[in-house]
Amino acid sequence: MGHRRAPGELESGVLATLWAADGPLTAAQVGERLPGDDLAYTTVLTILSRLFDKGMVVRQRAGRGYAYEPARDEAAHTAERMRDLLDGGPDRAAVLSRFVSELSAEDERLLHELLGDGR
């Protein structure tokens, strides 16, 4: 029996492949670079189409098809996901408090630096 993927796992893999690339990739190129088992070209194309419909990738003509690249860099994507999770929580202060309390010393220092309090 085959490996059942978690929801969003294929999209995440395709995005990671595009972020690691030096430029736009066709569906065939994405499929070649995706780690793990070989996916059908149509499966990769479907994932890229879904990502395009969600505004997560942009595309440009490349021969008879398209070449794709991320609409945002990885840091912007991760920050958006964090914001979405925070916005969806019932108690924003509690979530932020827990998040900050579990930061490493280095991450806490970096956060203070980014917030401009000079600590």
Residue among 80, 29, 24 nearest 52 (CA): 24
Kindly state the tokens that stand for 57. Answer: 């990738």
pTM of the predicted structure, to 2 decimals: 0.75
Q: Any idea where the domains of the chain sit in the sequence?
A: 9-70, 74-115
**First and final C-alpha spacing in the chain:** 54
**Residue range 9-70 in CATH 3.65.10.10:** no
User: Could you read off the pLDDT tens digit of each residue along the chain, which spans 119 residues?
Assistant: 456 666 688 999 999 999 999 999 999 999 999 987 688 999 999 999 999 999 999 999 999 999 999 999 999 989 988 898 889 888 989 988 998 899 999 999 999 899 986 54
How far apart, in whole angstroms, are the C-alpha atoms of residue 91 and residue 93?
6
